[in-house]
Amino acid sequence: MKQLLSLVILLTVLMSCSSVGRNDEKNIALIQNYVEAIENFDHEVMADLLDANYLGLGPSFGDSIRKEQAVENWKYNVDNLYEKIDYTRTRNAAISISSGENQGEWVSNWSELYITYKDGRGTVAIWANSIYQIQDDKILKSYTFYNEADALRQLGYVFFNPNDL
């Protein structure tokens, strides 16, 4: 009975994510180009791939950024913080959501990500997941998830509970 219920749930999910009329290959190529622009510190290509109404959300709850801020933040990080960024073990999956609040075409990118800092602090390794909504061959929205505390721990930060003081 549990297997039948699991199969029904899986089929319902798959049917709600229609593949008819999707641009999977084109959308995945767009995200691959965006990731390459990040690795190459090419803020002009990044800006070109973001929609004028772009909204980036995450990694923390409540974080949000618009296109102009995202490009300016990226320029600052490249000039002042990052020496190198490598996406490894990258995987992409495209999906089309046919109804509801998040209707549209999406690409999810999972990566093992290595960020090397300019100031000699070394390299951090994180698992990152970014989910991109594609509209009119541009990135309209993104959700990014990674463990910020783990990245900071790798940079030498120490966390403590203030109640323990």
Task: Give the residue-averaged pLDDT of 53-81.
Answer: 94
| Percentage of the chain exceeding pLDDT 90 | 79
d(CA 139, CA 155): 31
Task: Give the residue-averaged pLDDT of 43-61.
Answer: 96
Tokens of 100: 């509801």
In 10 A of CB 134, how many CB atoms?
24
d(CA 90, CA 100): 29
Buried b (16+ CB within 10 A) or exposed e, 85-100: bebeeeebebbbeeee
Tokens of 64: 């949000």
Q: What is the pLDDT of residues 124-157, one digit of tens each?
A: 999 999 999 999 999 999 999 999 999 999 999 9
What is the average pLDDT score of the chain? 89
Q: Which of 19, 1, 11, 23 is nearest to 135 (CA)?
A: 23
d(CA 143, CA 102): 12
Would you say residue 20 has pLDDT above 60? no
Residue 144 CA, distance from chain mean position: 4
Q: What is the pLDDT of residues 69-115, one digit of tens each?
A: 999 999 999 999 999 999 999 999 999 999 998 999 999 999 999 99
d(CA 56, CA 63): 8
d(CA 149, CA 141): 24
